[in-house]
Amino acid sequence: MNLKIYLITYLCVLCINTNAQNKQKDNIVGSSFLIQSQILNDEREIQFYLPNTYHETNKKYPVLYILDGQRYFLHGVSLQKSFTEFKQTPEFIIVGISKKQSDRNRNFSSNSKKHSEFIEKEVINYVDTKFRTSKKNILFGWAYAGGFVIQTMTSKPELFDAYIAASPFPLSNKIQMVDSLISFHPNFDKLLYFTSGTNEGVVQEGTYALNTLLTNKAPKTMNWTFRKLKGEEHRSTPFTTLYHGIKQYFSYYPKLQFNTLEEFSKAGGLDHVKDYYKHRATKYGFPNELSDWTMFSLTRNAIRANDYNQFNLFVHEFKKTNFLDRLSLSRACLIAEFYLKHKQYDKAIDIFTPLTQKHPESERPLNGLENTYKELKNEKQALKYHNKAKEVSEKKSNR
């Protein structure tokens, strides 16, 4: 009996300790504030999310305004975190403008004028007053809200710098407005990114008509893209559209990378790469020079294609920037090993040798020198570096 009591007591204590170790906390994303709108004569909820560095710097940030924030605010936050982590865009503030269930689509149709005034005079004004913004604004909407995005571009073209519309509808009465806009503003230079799925019926008809108009009449200064989304349905287009629309707006921000030599060649080769970095410097204040990552990734593409001539051209072009000296051990060894593969022994030695001094605890450059001297039939030097590599390996295993 005493044993049973002991076991029961032990199990209870174990459960208490286990539960005590698992603490629960609320998962809060951003914040909300309520605007008592004088224009709409109603109270509206506005969500906002600040960049991670907001309270650590004095920087001013672009703002992404998301219509139907009750649906897409979290998606916008997720994209912002992913983009900034991988350095695809600068950080930006996200504002979700939520819609009440009772509003249905009146905000974007019969009540669109008041809703536009509400966004301009009460939401944007509040955000610009409360936060450090750069006054660079992006507007995103889907379906009826996408149609509202197009309408806002035509009625208040200076209010936003980028207009992103997923499956915008209806467009029949807005295409003429777009026509008038580009006719009266021959230097219109805002971004318009709009999409539709390939099975969206009347939505697709409207976007195709708008695409035809812009193809024929859009000024060269206008940055616009229409994308047909294969395999997407009406409810899924906003997620793909917002992703690509943001990337389009922040073009020239990422370090340039090509997946293949063919892709590099089709883009325009090194002239295109240098031009890209000039635009990047102008738009974001980055240096004019090619990034180390771009130079290495181009060189790696030549290695993967086993194209020695192109590889040698890249290394010769980039060497004057001393980029080889800044490469990591593995990347520098990759280049030296390609020289070795193509029997360019002196060039391989010129890279492997300083790496042995810079990384004395690494076997890879020592093995590279051993293999190079073996190819040169210099057994004495090959043995020397073999023994050094063996010594490094033994030191590691004895730690």
User: Under 8 Å CB-to-CB from 374, ≥6 apart: which residues?
Assistant: 382
Q: Is the pLDDT of residue 18 over 70?
A: no
Element (H, E) at 19: helix 2-21
- Angle, in degrees to the nearest 10, between helices 175-184 and 202-217: 20
Q: Return the minimum-mean-pLDDT range out of 25-39, 70-84, 119-133, 174-188.
A: 25-39
- The confidence band for 122, taking pLDDT boundaries of 50, 70 and 90, is very high
Q: Tokens 């409360």 identify what position?
A: 130
* Cβ atoms 225, 195 nearer than 8 A: no
Helix H, strand E, coil C: the string for 317-370 is HHHCCCHHHHCCHHHHHHHHHHHHHCCCHHHHHHHHHHHHHHCCCCCHHHHHHH
What pTM did the predictor assign?
0.87
* Cβ atoms 149, 109 nearer than 8 A: no
**Distance (Å, whole) CA 280 – CA 288:** 7
pLDDT cut 70: percent of the chain above it: 94
* Cβ atoms 241, 195 nearer than 8 A: yes
Neighbours of 280 (CB within 10 A): 21
Q: Is the pLDDT of residue 203 over 80?
A: yes
- The confidence band for 90, taking pLDDT boundaries of 50, 70 and 90, is very high
Give the pLDDT score at 15: 58
Give the pLDDT score at 27: 75
Give the pLDDT score at 25: 76
Give the pLDDT score at 225: 98
CA distances from 62 to 65, 93, 95, 127, 375 (A): 10, 6, 11, 11, 57
**Distance (Å, whole) CA 131 – CA 92:** 11
Q: Is the pLDDT of residue 106 over 90?
A: no
- The confidence band for 201, taking pLDDT boundaries of 50, 70 and 90, is very high
**Distance (Å, whole) CA 232 – CA 196:** 8
**Distance (Å, whole) CA 356 – CA 378:** 19
* Cβ atoms 154, 80 nearer than 8 A: no
* Cβ atoms 99, 124 nearer than 8 A: no
Q: Is the C-alpha dihedral spanning 24, 25, 26, 30 positive or negative?
A: negative
Give the pLDDT score at 273: 98
Tokens at 5, concatenated: 């009591």
Neighbours of 277 (CB within 10 A): 20
